[in-house]
Amino acid sequence: MNKAILLTAVLLANLTLMGAAPLMTQKDLKFTWIKNNPNYVVTFTPEIARAECKENQRQSLAIQADFNRPILAGQSYVITFRARGTTGIISVQPQFNGKGSKNLLSDAELFEDWKKYEVSFTAPADAKTFSCAIYSWNRLGHFEIRDFSVVLKEERKEEK
């Protein structure tokens, strides 16, 4: 096993045990899938990521998190965020080792008022890196994301 990967895994495990910071936060939302198209505009501030489709061209309006974040294979995580918008639906797609995976949330109803969304996943056995995208396929309108985070899912012990 590559020493750098092993060191990263040990570091992440130790940070997790010490109650480390989330794997990702709002500041990690900083990319989009469609660039240089005036009909698909995505903007980022420290508080809100906003994606707007001005003219539908049958593409995905997406907000993409930072790429290649080291992740612990086999561990469970929770993605939470608040969203609102006029596209009607949003989806969440995890990406492991730079490749898309099955949606964790598909075509969830999106409202004009803020609503909290939460999805859980377990990193596959071969996962080394993680990213995710929140998107709306083939929709006119906009959506906004705030309070985004990805954290290690805490084990809950049953009380006796």
In a domain, 57, yes or no: yes
In a domain, 8, yes or no: no
Query: Looking up tokens 């469609």, which residue turns up?
Result: 34
At 158 the pLDDT is 44
> What phi-psi label fits residue 139: left (phi over 0), alpha (psi between -120 and 50 degrees) or beta?
beta
For 49-98, what is each residue's pLDDT tens digit?
999 999 888 888 999 998 889 999 999 999 999 999 999 999 999 999 98
Structural domain boundaries enclosing 113: 22-152
For 29-51, what is each residue's pLDDT tens digit?
999 988 889 999 999 999 999 99
- Decide if 91 contacts 138 (C-beta within 8 A): no
Task: Say which CATH number the domain at 51 has.
Answer: 2.60.120.260
Report the distance separating Cα 28 and Cα 125, nearest Å: 24
Number of domains in the chain: 1
In a domain, 2, yes or no: no
In a domain, 123, yes or no: yes
Say yes or no to pLDDT of 5 above 60. no
In a domain, 128, yes or no: yes
Mean pLDDT score across all residues of the chain: 86
In a domain, 14, yes or no: no
In a domain, 90, yes or no: yes
At 155 the pLDDT is 47
